[in-house]
Amino acid sequence: MSFITRGFSGCSRERDERLPPGQTLVQDFPVLSAGPTPEVDTAEWEFTIRTESSVHRWNWDEFTSLAIDDVDTDIHCVTHWSKLGTSWRGVSLDTLFEQVETEQEYVMAHSYGGYTTNVPLDELLDGKAWVAFEFDGEPLEPEHGGPARLLVPHLYFWKSAKWVRGLVMMEQDEPGFWEQNGYHLHGDPWTEERYW
């Protein structure tokens, strides 16, 4: 029954070859949220990587003393917006995994507030992912995932878990929060892996 509403164009939708299929450009930074915004004090903050044999921990000071990368990248949200040339600072997952021994190939990211998302380990290494704590030269705001969020820009942005608190290695790939509820297990924007 749907018909075009006279005079309605919705948000502006520009085209650009840096945009994956089905995406449109935005200048602002929409906030997507599945729950209340956790307020996490950096004094309490902790990041862990849990493997089959051990747990690696960093507090805020230890974490921000690691090698820090400047990252300029495009981000693509499954809700059809993309943002080009965003700038972040954070710690590469390569740096974090230097000290980690594991045979397991899959990762579940866990966040303050309970959110989870799954990513294969090889999609996090080789300069493809960071734990970011600055956006656009400023500390990452809580509504955008601060103090720190996962940044996996080559996958849809729901994989870049806000308020990340740790990674748990897994033997097999298992679905995280949105992946259990309709979203794609992998989430490549260039092949439009949006849903099951």
Partner 1 sequence: MSDAATGTTAPAPAPSAALLAVPRSGWHVATVASTRRETPNASRIELEVDGWPGNAAGQHLDVRLTAPDGYTATRSYSIASSGAGTRVTIAVDKLPDGEVSPYLVDEVRAGDMLEVHGPLGAFFVWAPDAADAAAAGEARPVQLIAGGSGVVPLYAMAEAHGAAHDLTSFRLLYSVRSPDDVYFADELRRLAEASAALQLDLVYTRRSPAGWPTPPARITREVLEAAVIPAAERPRVFVCGSTGFVERVADWLVELGHDARSIRTERYGGT
Partner 2 sequence: MQHVDGNALAGPLAEFFSFDLTTAIARCSGCGAVGELARTMVYRSGAGTVVRCSECDQVLATLVETADRAWIGLSGISAIEVPRG
Q: What residue 31 binds from partner 1, partner 2, none (CB within 5 to 8 A, per partner kind)?
A: partner 2
Between 19 and 58, how does the x/- string for binding to partner 1 read (CB under 8 A)?
---------x------------------------------
Look at residue 9 and give the partner it binds from partner 1, partner 2, none, a contact being a CB closer than 5 to 8 Å depending on partner kind.
partner 1
Which of 195, 155, 192 has the alpha carbon at shortest distance from 22?
192
Least distance (Å) from partner 1 to the CB of residue 118?
Answer: 30
Piece in contact with partner 1 (CB under 8 A), picked from 8-16, 121-129, 152-160, 177-185? 8-16
Q: Is 97 helix (H, G, I), strand (E, B) or coil?
A: helix
Query: Taking CB within 5 to 8 Å according to partner kind, which of partner 2, partner 1, none is near residue 137?
Result: none
E-state strands within the chain: 24-25, 46-50, 55-59, 69-76, 81-92, 106-111, 116-120, 130-135, 138-139, 149-151, 164-170
For position 183 contacting partner 2 by CB under 8 A, the verdict is yes
Count Cβ neighbours within 10 Å for each residue of 18-34 and write b for 16 or more, e otherwise.
ebeeebebbeeeeeeee
| SS3 of residue 135 by DSSP | strand
Q: Which of 80, 128, 154, 186 binds partner 2 (CB under 8 A)?
A: 80
- The residues binding partner 1 (CB under 8 A) are 1-11, 13, 28
